[in-house]
Structure 1
Amino acid sequence: MGRSNREQADKNRQRIVDQAGATMRGGGVGAVSISEIMARAGLTQGGFYNHFESKEALITEACSSGFARSVQNWKARAISTRQPAAGALKRLVAFYFAKKPVEQSCPMVALGQDAAPHNASAALNEAYREGVGQFFSTFREIAHTDRSCSLSEEQLVVAFAAMVGANMLSRATGDKKWAAEVERGLVGSST
């Protein structure tokens, strides 16, 4: 019976984290309201503190969880036993720029300002920095897996920064040309 209760508590906690993450990606950290998150998770507001010591703890965990899930998605889309290694970077870039609901947008772009040192707690800033590091490591791993990729280490850094920057500019301006141009440049340079 104790195990079942623990499993349910873990599921409830993850639902709360998922709802907070989707809210943060859609509207930033300021959009996170404990009462709304708990309602969306199908739980009572009073139960929040059974799972988290503070709203900040939830926001930090949602940031880390969002990055971890996105890294898994990147790997699943780019590196697969059913697809050749050649073209892995191209698949990643296409997936990165594919239209997605705002709640599934890139956490680097969605949380960048909120996680900046002048706006965030040390814990949120650390979670964000670790997430960005995981993203770049995954980007590098996928590029090295792709036998058709000829980018040097320096070019990988520039390509990664250009990809994230173009995504941010496309999202902020509503003009998809930024993403389209970078995608075309990255896909062309990786083959």
Structure 2
Amino acid sequence: MGRVSQAQAAENRERIVAVAARLFRERGIAGAGVADVMAEAGLTHGGFYKHFASKDALVTEAVTAAFAGQQAPTPDTYLSAAHRDDPGGGCPTAGFGGDMAKELGSDATRAAYAHGVEGFARALGDGEPDLAALSTMVGALILSRATAGTDLSDRILTAAREALTPVTEP
């Protein structure tokens, strides 16, 4: 097989990062290996090192890309059953939080994660970080995922949405 063009190589790298971001959020960093990522990307395991120096380098890029693709959600969309049930396509703050707390990422990965969390909090606060809203939303999402399939899961989402919804006087 011949060499791929620079454009194809860039497209392959982008696909690898997108697949990794999804798998790492779904399974955790330790739960998705390089072979898993490459297989899902439709590429060979051996080709990985043409794109990345290490799994840590991929993790850092995947975390950065996941935050770059995140849109500022409302409590209604963030704290929904659809979001709860889609960890691979969901919030990187919640998706990578457990791994970052276990220090599974390199210093570069942790810095990328912190930068993403700060940006998410800033988007929630219209320029000024709203750490209380961020903490409520992410905590509720994690708890609702941990209790999925029970009535408690839905009650957690509802309680958090209500706590974040401003009360208007009639």
Q: Same fold judged by TM-score > 0.5?
A: yes
The partner residue of 1:109 within 89, 94, 105 is 94
Q: Residues of 2 paired with 1:166 and 1:157: CA distance?
A: 14
Q: How far apart in 1 are the matches of 2:145 and 2:136? A: 14
Is 1:117–1:125's contact at 8 Å kept on the other side of the alignment? no
Unaligned runs of 5+ in 2: none
Tell me, which stretches of 5 or more residues in structure 1 are unaligned? 79-91, 145-152
- Say which SS state the counterpart of residue 31 (structure 1) adopts: coil
CA distance in 2, matches of 1:67, 1:25: 12
CA RMSD of aligned residues (A): 2.2
- Structure 2 equivalent of residue 185 of structure 1: 163
TM-aligned CA deviation for residue 160 of structure 1? 2.3
Code of the aligned partner of 2:147: T
Q: Equivalent residue for 1:31?
A: 31
Using the size of structure 2 for normalisation, the TM-score is 0.84
Alignment partner, residue 44 of structure 1? 44
TM-score when scaled to structure 1? Answer: 0.75
**SS class of match (1:16):** helix
Deviations 1:53-106 (A, max 9, x none): 101100111011111111xx32xxx6xxxxxxxxxxxxx111212313221122
Q: 17-26 or 113-122, which moves further after superposition?
A: 113-122
Deviations 1:17-76 (A, max 9, x none): 111111111110012211121111111111111110101100111011111111xx32xx
Residue matched to 2:76:
94
1:164 maps to which residue? 138
Given residue 43 of structure 2, which amino acid in structure 1 is its aligned partner?
L
State the Cα distance separating 1:117 from its structure 2 match. 6.6
The amino acid of 1:29's aligned partner reads: I
CA distance in 2, matches of 1:23, 1:118: 18
Distance 2:102 2:139 in 1: 19
Q: Give aligned-pair identity as a percent.
A: 35
Structure whose residues are more often helix by fraction: 1
Residue 30 of structure 2 aligns to a residue in which SS? helix
Number of equivalences: 159
